[in-house]
Amino acid sequence: MTPNSGTGTSATRRLGVLVIVLVISLALFGLQFSAEDVVQGSTVRIMYVHVPSIWTAYIAFFLTAVCSGVYLSRRQRSLAWDRVAGASAEIGVLFVAVSLVTGSLWGRLTWGTYWVWDARLTSTAFLFITYVGYLAVRRLDGTHRQRARRSSVMALLAVLEIPLVHFSVNLWRSLHQDASVADPNAKVKLDGLMLFSLFLGLVTFTLLFVWLVLHRQRTMLLEDSFADRGLDVAIAERRNEAGVQ
């Protein structure tokens, strides 16, 4: 890669344009074309952002785990896998945050409270904290290889931890408090246009995620090579100062 090249290619630019078009149409469908819910009124529109964002976060963390596994299992460990894992986790954390914020806003409007100690909410909060921790591990100092190895193990441990936390939180809630709020799993019949808007949201957010990951992992590549080259340049400068050739 030449030093002055950006993070975009013609393919990512086309994808970017497509994502912009999709986001605009999602906004139109979500806010304008789709009808209000009989019970929830306009608050149902939060769903078109809320559900796609947690969906994207799950994809992101799944991708992080897969890339980390591939990184560790290959004999020739390629840092590219690590960078995709890291980029994916960063964007996953962003989308969990979006989903938690939109969810609590919806909860405030529908349940009258920002937060309930529901098993699913609590597990999602743990998911968020766990990957914030993962990102912190990536920032520990050390070589790129150390970073890659540590964070890959972390990502695989998270795969182990998340179901355990989910399971125990479920037990905790089910034994101690009957569901006192609207059941989020209740079968809701969505009308055609609402369902379409929701699917449009899923597609839009997934493509947005792909676009973000492509760019982010290339920024990481640039950061890594900058760090490597920065050291070489500094050594060369010191040598010049000392007059050693």
> Rule CB under 8 A: which residues touch other proteins?
72, 126, 129-130, 132-133, 136-137, 140-142, 146, 149-150, 152-154, 156-157, 160-161, 164-165, 167-169, 171-172, 175
The Cα–Cα gap between 30 and 157 comes to 38
Please state, in angstroms and as integers, the Cα–Cα distance from residue 170 to each residue in 52, 53, 199, following that order.
Answer: 23, 23, 29
Q: Fill in the DSSP letter of residue 39.
A: T
CB of 199 to other proteins, least distance (A): 33
Instruction: Residue 45: name the closest of 205, 194, 196, 202 by CA.
Output: 194
CB of 140 to other proteins, least distance (A): 4
Instruction: Residue 201: name the closest of 45, 40, 43 by CA.
Output: 45
- 81 Cβ contact list (under 8 Å, min separation 6): 67, 68, 70, 71, 74, 148
CB of 210 to other proteins, least distance (A): 28
Of the two residues 9 and 174, which places its CB atom closer to other proteins in the complex? 174
CB of 223 to other proteins, least distance (A): 19
Of the two residues 125 and 207, which places its CB atom closer to other proteins in the complex? 125
- 110 Cβ contact list (under 8 Å, min separation 6): 40, 43, 182
Of the two residues 100 and 198, which places its CB atom closer to other proteins in the complex? 100
Cα 42 to chain centroid distance, Å, stands at 27
Of the two residues 102 and 130, which places its CB atom closer to other proteins in the complex? 130
Of the two residues 120 and 149, which places its CB atom closer to other proteins in the complex? 149
CB of 134 to other proteins, least distance (A): 9
